[in-house]
Amino acid sequence: MQIDSLFGIIGLSLVIMGILVILLGMTLMMRESDQGNTETRRESKGIILLGPIPIVWGYGKKGWAVAIIVGIMLVLLWILFRG
C-alpha cells in the first residue's frame, strides 16, 4: 500500500511541476514580447503518433525525412517493448 501511495505522490508532483513550468514559460514569453517591437517568427514542428501511424508536420524536406524515420523507429520500439 505504501508503494502505491508513494507513486501517486510522485506522479501528482510531476504533473504539478509540469503545469508550473508551462505557466512560467508562458509568462516569460509574454514578458519578452512586451519589451520591444521586434518581429518574432514562430514555427510549429512535431510528430504525433496515432497508434502505429506517425504524423509529421512543420519540417523541411530533409527534416521531414529524419522526423519520419525517428517516428518509425519509435513505433518499432513500441511494438518490441509493449510486452
Ordered DSSP codes for the chain: -HHHHHHHHHHHHHHHHHHHHHHHHHHHHHHHHHS----------EEEEETTEEEEES--HHHHHHHHHHHHHHHHHHHHH--
Position 75 scores a pLDDT of 80
Same domain, 6 and 29: yes
Q: Please state the domain count of the chain.
A: 2
Residue that wins the pLDDT comparison between 32 and 25: 25
Range of the domain at 81: 43-83
pTM for the full model? Answer: 0.41
Region of 57 on the Ramachandran plot (φ > 0 left; ψ -120 to 50 alpha; else beta): beta
Position 48 scores a pLDDT of 79
User: What is the amino acid identity at position 13?
Assistant: S
Same domain, 20 and 53: no
Q: What is the 3-state secondary structure (H, E, C) of 40-51?
A: CCCCCCEEEEEC
